[in-house]
Structure 1
Amino acid sequence: MAMADSVKRPFLSLLGGFDCSGLAAGTPASTGKARALMAYLALQAGQSQSREKLAALLWGGRGEEQARANLRQTLSVLRRALKATGREWFRMEGDRVALDLGDADLDVRRFEALAAGSATDDLEQAIALYPGELLEGFNLAEEPFEDWLRTERERLRITATAALEKLITCHIGGNEPGACIPAATRLLALEPLREDVHRTLMRAYAAMGSFNLALAQYRICGDTLRKQLGVQPEPETRALYQDLLARRMAPPAGQSPVKVAPFEPRPQTRYVKSDGVSIAYQVTGDGPFDLVYVQGWVSNLDYAWDSSRLSNVLHRLGSFCRLIRIDKRGTGLSDRGTGFPTLEQRMQDVRAVLDAVGSQKTVLFGSSEGGVMCMLFAASYPERTAALILHGTYARGLWSPDYPWGRTREELEEELLAIEREWGRPADLSRAAPSLIDDMVEREWFAGYLRNSASPADAISLWRWGVEIDARDILPAIRVPTLITHRTGDRWVKPEEGRYLASRIPGATYVELPGDDHIIWGADSDRLMDEIQRFLVSAPPAPTESALLTVLHLDVQGASSGRVKEWQDDAVRQLRAADGEAIDLRESGLVAAFRQPSQAITCAFDLRVRLHHIGLDVRAAIHVGECERQDGVYAGAVLRLAAGFADCAGPGDIIASRTVRDLVVGADLSFDLRGQLDLPGIPGPWPYFSIGQS
């Protein structure tokens, strides 16, 4: 809420977490037990507590003597830390202890006082002071304290619920339907099964002329009831939905028609099988270009239409393209629980969808992590790629000395903890879309969108997977017309990362747009759509002389002249089964090309086993890079590097370059660093790894 900006920071904040202006984070005074002691004493309204009770509350699993010693030490640390504020906060009276807040501001105390009132301003301020539950995310693993905390959390949640109900009543009584929307949305976050509040939101949206949002709220209500209770909405809710549907189509006599965006039923969701996995997709629009939009992290094809902002962007894309959207495996409406996906698998999922809709050549539009897969597709299948568009995309997820914009391991772990802690709550848009941070409608929709896109555990796994990607080595192999757009203030993916892509992808066009929003449906989305449309109209045809290929170089040791045909026939059969093509087949080995690294790895393992059975040892190396083909002749540094890696392998070894390792993140394989290769005329060094099967 906007009101939150005007609320001063309390000395001690316990709602939504723990924050004390007198305690520095990371000091001994900020340990879990110290914060728990401060919180407990603060909520006792200045009443002293016995040391015996406090020791049992926080150190119940220790002996009495040890518990009291821990209490003394914690109190001592807190008192020393708080002395910098210029006063004594603790009262010690014999065996009893109290926290003397005096006139200092405690957010819980002010929240309860404001929530008890009836004035609209007081209630607005009260809700602004309740960003989350008491000590949100706090877990002390001391049962007496946890019992107390559960009781206090429920008490304050009921207080917040009552304040929101009064606030909604005030706005409705004042004939301010639009003003009650944030409060009703917030109340549903606390009590999602309240049909009366769903109906309030539906009526409020309709009163504002937003009939699409009102009808979408009914779908949200129905989905929630079915998933959590297995029931349908009440007759009153269904009747309201039918009434709003009729009013949208034909306003009552005497009223001017409400100007709303034309209602369109959700497009049909279809499915295609890709390697046994069902992939959901939707097709909308009828423009002259086929365009596949691949979203980052997680998505839900149906739920996307419930956001007026995102649906407007999708309609805009559909005005000049045939828009093809997919839910990647493991997310949204596609099969869940499919294991850890690889970039290759997701790339093949896109191919399967394109085949299903009859698209021979398409524009690839990827945002955030989705852009990485689009880059791999464009490099691997230039003959099927008309152009490549990347927005807010990165080349590598983690920090390295030569890529200083990625996340550190520590930052990654903090992000994963935040996802686990906040999943399902009103979404924190401070980094994804700062322009929408005060828009509770958008925050609630986005939280629902995420919940319907993946489970918390899957969301965490997919986030970690996306950060482990490193696609830097494939960038020079992208030879299709490429547009890279980035927001100057993007807080998720730094603009330097967009500039890095533009400097490494041959001929790429880079456009840096003003603004801070990472998502494509944030502020000034029309400007982004304008840039995409302008680029597609003027982009030259994509050349297809070269492509990203995986090269397998395999040496066969110990083959007598009489056994050459035997192993070669076996090798050709294995190549055919793995969709590979022989570039060079000779008595001492072979060189073969594949579209996917996993195909080459599988073929290498199979050949090693088969040839070992007939008494032959092999050593093999696999590398991914740009390869040119003219008149049936292959050329490129990838061939020299694969041969160089093979020379480093011992009998029975299968060696892979770092590029291969980075592109098969998520596969059931292990990679052990063996060394690095330097070849004259090829910038290096090139680390290489032995491949094992986990």
Structure 2
Amino acid sequence: MLSVRLLGSFAVEVDGRPVPAGAWERRDASGLVKLLALRPERRLHREQVMDLMWPELGVSEAAPRLHKAAHYARRALGCADALVLRDDVVALLPGGPVTVDADDFERAAAEALANGMPGTAAAVLDRFPGEPLPDDAYAEWADEARDRLTVLRRRLLRQAGRWEQLLELDPLDEEAAVRQMRRLVRAGDRAGALETFARLDRALRRLLGTGPGPAATRLRDELAGALRERGRLSPADEGRLRQEIRFCRSADGVTLAYASSGNGPPLVKAAHWMTHLDHDWNSPVWHHWLVELSRRFRLIRYDERGCGLSDRDIPRPGFEDWIRDLEAVVDAAGLERFPLFGMSQGVAVAITYAARHPERVSKLVLCGGYLQGQLARAVTEEQRREQGLEIEMVRLGWGRDHPGFRQVFTSQFMPQGSRELWDAFNELQRTTTSSENAARVLELAGSIDVVATTALVRAPALVLHAREDSAVPFAQGRWTASQLPNSRFLALDSPNHILLADEPAWPVFLREVETFLAE
């Protein structure tokens, strides 16, 4: 007797004996068992098996793969008759009983849905807690069964009123989000309800390019109003629910987009590699940065020329253009004196602006930056060629559908990022600008050299740098701090150029910045 589990982690029992997970040394072997277990008769014609499992191969190439998969499956199951190829048919334990949890789930789900009671649906979900075929998310042979089982699971979650779990499966489900918001309100967690709305808003804008509908928006406004009346919605919390995007012109007539969020003391953020004011606001890459800084400050940030919502059809930019763009934004925002925050290439821009406008910059916060770009600090021909290859790769591959070209930068910026974060950053880079503009930015950033400018900076500076930063060497952060006349240096325990929301270095960064700017 065979018992096969397809919901949650794949597992098989033979006559009550569990097959060790390590026995499935070949993915094709476990895939073949799963494919046959999904069929009511536990069998398929060999050509159907080959078409489903290896659709890109011809019969002459797929047939040996099938025989190998069957061999390793039998070896894992420890039974020569457990998987049989005979008369052009591939069968799982022919003549013997095979039970599959997915079949039991479908029968129980059908009964629960016909019953219509929340408790009955909840009982089925508790009995079968696993997602269908989680290890085969990209296997075409599993698509039909996985979709069918997932639809059943969603219907049960809806009947059981398990809105939070339903949103985990489908973050775009607006009805589930509204129901979850109302549940949290009844439980007294209005802030949690607002956060549910924020997650829905981010998902809709990132994946569909639209915002929540009137029902969710109306409930969000009611919640914000109730918290405001009770004095539990601070100005910073209120400000972080939205950002205001405006436009100004730089000295040479280029239109620049800038945004303001939060209601605290001002903090200006110099532009850096690839931003998009609207997309960033809803991106899991940057959302925690923007929310937490807006909670504490009135955050002013902008898209550099050629990127995001700023003019993209522009002549080749120079470093002086970047300085003039920052000058235009702070003037348009009506700021007289303010702290200035620079990240990555924005560090050099912030240092240069502070040196030229000492009367306007109260303090500098510099994170993950450098005084000399990659080309400017190159000492070997190999290092110079590496910079040239990166620029050429951007020109050739940036706009293609395949994200592999952009992944080179993503893996440097967030080596500890999840697949979701990597995909989001890849998409952000593609959305932000053209391949030619991206190459120009990279080329210009590589030639930066502001070493001589540091001596002119009067503002106190806090310099932070991740110890294992893969994008900008740690030595550059240390050198930056050593060259500024009045600076404090803090090493962050992280390999990420862009700090992640769930890593220990992130709250350290926030605490140190807030303390420094409050002094």
- Shorter-chain TM-score above 0.5: yes
Give per-residue Cα distances to partners, 1:440-459, cap 9 Å, x unaligned.
xxx8xx899979x9485558
Separation (CA, whole Å) in 2 of partners of 1:107 and 1:486? 51
Amino acid corresponding to residue 233 of structure 1 in structure 2: G
Question: Where in structure 2 are the equivalents of 1:108-127 lying within 5 Å?
Answer: 123=125
Match of 1:186 in 2: 168
Taking only aligned residues, the RMSD between alpha carbons, in angstroms, comes to 5.9
More helix by share: 2
Contact 2:463 2:490 survives alignment (8 Å): yes
Residues 1:532 and 2:513 aligned together: yes
Pick the aligned partner of 2:329 from 353, 360, 366: 353
Who is 1:485 aligned against? 464
Asked if the contact 2:267–2:341 (Cα under 8 Å) also holds between the matched residues in 1, the reply is no
Shift in Å, 1:204? 3.3
Alpha-carbon shift at residue 283 of structure 1 (Å):
6.4
| 1:187 to partner: Cα distance | 4.4
1:158 Cα offset (Å): 0.9
For 2:416, the equivalent position in structure 1 comes to 431
Report how far residue 352 of structure 1 moved: 2.5
- Mapping for residues 182-581 of structure 1, pairs under 5 Å: 183-189=165-171, 192=172, 194-207=173-186, 209-211=188-190, 214-215=193-194, 224=204, 233=213, 240-241=219-220, 243-250=222-229, 259-262=232-235, 264-265=238-239, 266=242, 268-274=244-250, 275-282=253-260, 285=263, 287=265, 291-292=268-269, 294=271, 297-300=274-277, 304=281, 310-318=290-298, 323-328=299-304, 334-335=309-310, 338=313, 344=319, 348-359=324-335, 363-367=339-343, 371-376=344-349, 378-379=351-352, 382-384=355-357, 386=361, 388-393=364-369, 416-417=403-404, 431-432=416-417, 454=428, 458=432, 471=446, 474=449, 476-477=451-452, 479=454, 480=457, 482-486=461-465, 493-494=469-470, 497-503=473-479, 506-507=483-484, 509-513=488-492, 518-519=498-499, 527-535=508-516
SS at match of 2:64: helix
Residues 305-358 of structure 1: CA deviation (Å, up to 9, x unaligned): 99688534323234xxxx4222445666x2486589968465553333123235
1:49 Cα deviation from its structure 2 partner:
1.4
CA distance in 2, matches of 1:21, 1:80: 16
Identity of aligned residues (%): 17
- Aligned with 1:474: secondary structure? coil
Q: In the TM superposition, what is the alpha-carbon distance from 1:381 to its structure 2 partner?
A: 7.0
Q: CA deviation at 1:51?
A: 2.0
Structure 1 residue 52 corresponds to structure 2 residue 42: no
Residue 38 of structure 2 corresponds to residue 43 of structure 1: yes
Deviation at 1:74, TM superposition (A): 1.0
- Is the counterpart of residue 70 in structure 1 residue 61 in structure 2? yes
Aligned partners of 2:268, 2:514: CA distance in 1, in Å? 11
Give distance in 2, aligned partners of 1:465 and 1:81.
53
TM-score by structure 2 length? Answer: 0.62
2:116 aligns with: none
Structure-2 separation of matches of 1:159 and 1:150: 14
Alignment-derived partner of residue 154 in structure 1: 147
Whole-Å separation in 2 of the counterparts to 1:163 and 1:340: 57
Shift of 1:81: 5.7
Aligned to 2:88: 95
User: What are the superposed Cα offsets for residues 602-636 of structure 1, whole Å, 9 maximum, x if unpaired?
Assistant: xxxxxxxxxxxxxxxxxxxxxxxxxxxxxxxxxxx
How many residues were matched structurally? Answer: 452
- Residue 17 (structure 2) aligns with: none
Change (3 A) 1:515 1:86: same
CA distance in 2, matches of 1:122, 1:258: 43
Alignment partner of 1:485: what SS?
strand
> Separation in 2 of the partners of 1:264 and 1:242?
11
Amino acid at match of 2:451: P
Indicate how the Cα distance of structure 1 residues 458 and 485 shifts in structure 2: closer, same or farther if over 3 A, else same: same
Residue number among 128, 131, 149 corresponding to 1:129 in the alignment:
131
The Cα shift of 1:271 comes to 0.9
The Cα of 1:270 is off from its aligned counterpart by: 1.6
Q: Could you say what secondary structure the match of 1:129 adopts?
A: coil
Shift of 1:213: 5.6
Q: Give the superposition deviation at 1:10.
A: 3.3
User: TM-score, normalised to structure 1's length?
Assistant: 0.49
Q: Which amino acid aligns with 2:348?
A: M
> What corresponds to 1:10 in structure 2?
10
Q: CA deviation at 1:60?
A: 7.0
- Structure 1 distance, partners of 2:8, 2:512, is 42
TM-aligned CA deviation for residue 383 of structure 1 = 1.0
Kept in 1: contact 2:269–2:340 (CA 8 A): yes
Unaligned runs of 5+ in 1: 1-6, 13-19, 139-145, 171-179, 251-256, 424-428, 438-442, 539-694
1:528 Cα deviation after fit? 2.5
Contact 1:114 1:125 in 2 (8 A): no
Question: Closer, same or farther in 2 for the Cα pair 1:131/1:335, shift >3 Å?
Answer: farther
- How far does residue 513 in structure 1 lie from its aligned partner after superposition? 3.8
Which residue pairs with 2:158 in the alignment?
165
Check the 8 A contact 1:388/1:482 in 2, yes or no.
yes
Q: Residues 463 and 153 of structure 1: is their aligned pair in 2 closer, same or farther, counting only changes over 3 Å? A: farther
Deviation at 1:113, TM superposition (A): 9.1
Secondary structure at the residue paired with 1:44? coil
Deviation, structure 1 residue 188: 3.9
| Structure 2: gaps (5+ residues) | 1-6, 13-20, 113-119
Letter in 1 for 2:61: N
Larger radius of gyration: 1
The structure showing larger relative contact order (alpha-carbon pairs under 8 Å, at least 6 residues apart) is 2
Compute the displacement of 1:279 (Å): 1.6
